[in-house]
Structure 1
């Protein structure tokens, strides 16, 4: 029987626009911030692989657009779609974290994180989609700096950029799994960690869940995810510690007690395992049959 998996809901987020005016600088942030992001020219129809390669190389994983083309480029569409960009980042052990809106983009740049954006450089009725990487903001000049096309640090008036950025003002952070965004939200980050699990990037998932547990120490889901990732890496002792912490932050979690029982039994600590399994069964819930099976396996 496998350790019960973590299920999370993907949420959508809203955005706040400023009608052509750059969002105010976060408190204490410099008015101008330009990040040192590697640059790859974007050849015809290759803006997706190049933009993702820039972000991934900045994150500490050197790749080239050619390394990513097969993963994100769709010949029939002559371009790359957003889900494939996210999946490719996760497949390579990087946290893919989606943001929406000018406020969050501004805060991330101020905090030192480049943002991949999707622009429409055409018309509403004849769109020309293009990925670029936001690498800086100059509030004195009211300009945004982009790695775009064949130009590094291209300066563009904020109003012009905002008119091309839409319709949902989507941005993608590609981060080391231990680095939380400036605007990190618990559920969004955990959704990204689940994505790393689905990509079977267990070491990266462990880092992401550990970062979540450090930021949100009362997060039951972070501790469950950390335990699952550690177990998948063969670290049953570490998994037991994480699951035990989950039972402490949420004493009515049958999943936490069930998972704890499973790994304690594997570690040869049968009495503790029985106690945890009995607790899971007593708590009940939608997964009661799984809990009963765990208890039966330990008893027999």
Structure 2
């Protein structure tokens, strides 16, 4: 692999080198990061087990092989790495494709899983590794990589191999922890994916942490309410839907979901009152859901006190 990397570096030199990003003045090395030596499977299971351990999940690389290794593709794909992270109840946060984002996570004591191409664009050799630090004085990046516990790689070689893998990087976040390099769209999308995978309580914790600093974020409020409802925390979900409707009166999706919660506990009139405030201009798919909820409310016979 190192030979291939040298070849790729020479080819890149012929093609013209891209500017290198600057490292912060103070270096970091997360020496407590676990090490799982591995040569097979593009080192995907070992790299994922390493970063999961840093987020509090103890799992062996062997236990991850069937989840991330695709025999037909002879490797692991990013989608499998992300999905497996979620399956362990962690927020699979894909970082913005910059070295600054990686460095920011390291500063929070979080090692970063990266995908590298140790070959060339035409003949790629995919490899997963874990960035554990950097040395600005020598311009080096430090990694857990394959069978090498502390791979000391030049910044130029690292950036070349990483850029040829589209600068893909991942950190598994413990629910309730926010990424250091916060990208709203990326983070909320990661929480929505966690919610869709059935980890409702974990997703709600992520939304709650986000809302502590951004209490009026409508997307986060809606996601948190949905997660709480799915987790069976109906009272908290109802409260959160009402918070959202205070900001966005008549919001079709929030109104429909709140009305369904109210109907579930027998509050027919309250549900009808919520639905009456929805404007008639709701999009067609939402209008169909609203009509169904209205019919259910009209057929209900009981009412709460």
With normalisation by structure 1, the TM-score equals 0.87
Task: Tell me which residue corresponds to 2:148.
Answer: 151
- 1:33-66 Cα deviation digits (max 9, x unpaired): 1123211112322500000000111100101101
Task: Tell me which residue corresponds to 1:294.
Answer: 293
Task: Tell me which residue corresponds to 2:4.
Answer: none
Tell whether 2:91 aligns with 1:95: yes
Residue 281 and residue 263 in structure 1: after superposition, are their counterparts in 2 closer, same or farther (change >3 A)?
farther
Task: Tell me which residue corresponds to 1:170.
Answer: 168
Contact 1:254-1:283 at 8 Å conserved across structures: no
Contact 1:107-1:182 at 8 Å conserved across structures: yes
Q: SS state of the match for residue 278, structure 2?
A: helix
Structure 1 residues 31-180: aligned runs within 5 Å: 31-35=26-30, 36-99=32-95, 100-167=97-164, 168-180=166-178
Structure 1 stretches (4+) deviating beyond 4 angstroms? Answer: none
**Separation (CA, whole Å) in 2 of partners of 1:282 and 1:37:** 56
Residue of 227, 236, 242 corresponding to 2:225: 227
Residue 277 and residue 41 in structure 1: after superposition, are their counterparts in 2 closer, same or farther (change >3 A)?
same
Q: CA deviation at 1:123?
A: 2.3
How large is the RMSD of aligned CA atoms in angstroms? Answer: 1.9
Deviates more, 1:221-230 or 1:277-286: 277-286
Q: CA deviation at 1:283?
A: 5.7
- 1:194-243 Cα deviation digits (max 9, x unpaired): 21122212222222222232233221111111111111111111110111
How many residue pairs were aligned?
A: 279
Say which structure is richer in helix: 2
Q: SS state of the match for residue 163, structure 2?
A: coil
**Separation (CA, whole Å) in 2 of partners of 1:45 and 1:292:** 51
Q: SS state of the match for residue 128, structure 2?
A: strand
Contact 2:54-2:110 at 8 Å conserved across structures: no
Contact 2:250-2:277 at 8 Å conserved across structures: no
**Separation (CA, whole Å) in 1 of partners of 2:104 and 2:146:** 24
Contact 2:92-2:172 at 8 Å conserved across structures: yes
- 1:165-206 Cα deviation digits (max 9, x unpaired): 123111111111211111122221111112112221222222
Q: SS state of the match for residue 280, structure 1?
A: coil
Q: Which runs of 5 or more structure 1 residues have no equivalent in the other structure? A: 1-17
Deviates more, 1:118-127 or 1:277-286: 277-286
Task: Tell me which residue corresponds to 2:7.
Answer: none
**Separation (CA, whole Å) in 2 of partners of 1:71 and 1:78:** 13
With normalisation by structure 2, the TM-score equals 0.85
Contact 1:252-1:283 at 8 Å conserved across structures: no
User: Greater relative contact order (Cα 8 A, min sep 6): structure 1 or 2?
Assistant: 1
Structure 1 residues 178-257: aligned runs within 5 Å: 178-257=176-255
Contact 2:101-2:181 at 8 Å conserved across structures: yes
- 1:101-123 Cα deviation digits (max 9, x unpaired): 22212222223222111111122
Deviates more, 1:228-237 or 1:282-291: 282-291
